[in-house]
């Protein structure tokens, strides 16, 4: 009887203490938005982006991010689309890893990947000098572009400001903390940097690889992408895993698959133009390409993009002697 009475008193006292502590627990909660963080390896976390383009529902958080703890430092590749997002992520990473972000990297000048930097107060901001230069030139415009895409969620950008990288990298490749980096080109004036973590066999491929559908060819030139994918396919080891711009982690063969997609797309466009088909026709399903890619919206956009590239090459090609003499 005495034991039951004592147990009851203890339970009542514990409940009372939890009720009193409730406001304190709430005060310590991380700010929104809620962000999913996945363990990818010991001391390594993947923050998955939403599929597709920026909308009010996904609040621009469409790019994959990667966090790596090394000693007292926490490295973050990418920072998300807004100050609010970066602050929420920083809080969650501190709870999971025991560290706040000490170093943040801008892989390429995509607003959904770099505008969050301003919310990581005290973190060192890293980027290749080419990426930093593009951010300085484009970010004032990219904030407005992102605001339009966000629609009803544009309030996330109410305090938007540009935090340019304060540490610049030079050259083609190097090492930074636990990471190795490599510079490649997405177009003639857009550099991207890939970041690898040898201990986890992980490599990021922001701006180059996609797993939620066809690769995004907008604002790119396919000659540059082709060279980049060829280099990735040649350099990658069989045990490597790619963290793409969007979608789940990809196997080592992903770059070769992107190359096959581009080759099939160009071939289909050459055939369509030879038949005199209009550009406005729907993009066909390509042979040897997955349904996920063939059925994605980006495949339709890529059809138009590569069609216009083919037309531009045709218009710029010098006339052959036979063609010249016939005019």
pLDDT tens readout for residues 303-318: 999 999 999 887 776 6
Average pLDDT value for residue range 145-163: 82
Position 15 scores a pLDDT of: 40
In DSSP terms, 116 is beta-bridged to none
Position 246 scores a pLDDT of: 98
Q: How far apart are CA 93 and CA 131, in angstroms?
A: 26
Q: Which two tokens stand for residue 70?
A: 């090394």
- pLDDT band for position 17 (50/70/90)? very low
Q: Which two tokens stand for residue 7?
A: 């147990």
Q: Which residue has the tokens 């890529």?
A: 302
Q: Looking at domain 31-170, does it have CATH number 3.40.50.150?
A: no
For helices 297-316 and 222-235, the axis angle rounded to 10 degrees is 110
| Mean pLDDT, rounded, of the chain | 88
Does the pTM surpass 0.85? The reply is yes
In DSSP terms, 124 is beta-bridged to 103
Spans of all domains in the chain: 31-170, 172-318
Pairing relationship of beta strands 65-70 and 202-205 according to DSSP bridges: unpaired
- The sign one gets for the Cα dihedral 70, 197, 123, 149 is negative
The CATH code of the domain at 172-318 is 3.60.15.10
* pLDDT > 80? residue 242: yes
* pLDDT > 50? residue 325: no
Decide whether 31-170 matches 172-318 in CATH topology.
Answer: yes
pLDDT in tens, 64-115: 999 999 999 999 999 999 999 999 999 999 999 999 999 999 999 999 999 9
* pLDDT > 80? residue 22: no
Position 236 scores a pLDDT of: 87
Position 67 scores a pLDDT of: 98
- pLDDT band for position 10 (50/70/90)? very low
Length of the chain: 327
- pLDDT band for position 178 (50/70/90)? very high
């Amino acid at each position: 009887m005495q034991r039951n009475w004592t147990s009851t008193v203890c339970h009542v006292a514990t409940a009372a203490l939890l009720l009193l502590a409730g406001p304190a627990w709430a005060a310590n909660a991380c700010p929104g938005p809620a962000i999913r963080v996945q363990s990818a390896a010991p001391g390594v976390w993947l923050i998955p982006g939403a599929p597709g383009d920026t909308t009010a529902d996904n609040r621009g958080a469409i790019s994959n991010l990667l966090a790596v703890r090394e000693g007292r430092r926490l490295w973050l590749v990418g920072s998300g689309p807004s100050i609010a997002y970066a602050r929420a992520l920083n809080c969650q990473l501190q709870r999971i890893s025991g560290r706040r972000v000490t170093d943040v990297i801008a892989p390429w000048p995509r607003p959904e990947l770099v505008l969050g930097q301003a919310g990581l107060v005290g973190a060192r901001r890293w980027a290749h000098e080419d990426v930093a230069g593009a951010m300085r030139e484009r970010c004032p415009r990219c904030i407005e572009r992102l605001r339009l895409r966000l629609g009803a969620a544009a309030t996330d950008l109410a305090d938007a400001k540009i935090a340019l990288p304060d540490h610049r990298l030079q050259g083609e490749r190097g090492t930074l903390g636990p990471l190795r980096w490599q510079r490649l080109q997405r177009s003639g004036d857009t550099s991207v940097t890939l970041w690898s973590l040898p201990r986890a066999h992980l490599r990021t491929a922001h701006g180059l690889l996609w797993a939620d559908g066809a690769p995004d060819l907008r604002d790119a030139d396919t000659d540059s992408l082709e060279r980049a994918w060829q280099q990735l396919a040649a350099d990658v080891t069989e045990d490597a895993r790619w963290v793409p711009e969007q979608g789940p982690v990809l196997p080592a063969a992903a770059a070769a698959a992107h190359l096959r997609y581009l080759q099939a797309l160009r071939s289909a466009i050459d055939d369509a133009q030879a038949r005199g088909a209009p550009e406005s026709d729907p993009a066909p399903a390509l042979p040897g390409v997955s349904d996920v890619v063939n059925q994605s919206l980006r495949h339709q956009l890529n059809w138009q993009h590569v069609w216009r590239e083919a037309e531009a090459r045709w218009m710029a090609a010098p006339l052959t002697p036979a063609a010249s003499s016939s005019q």
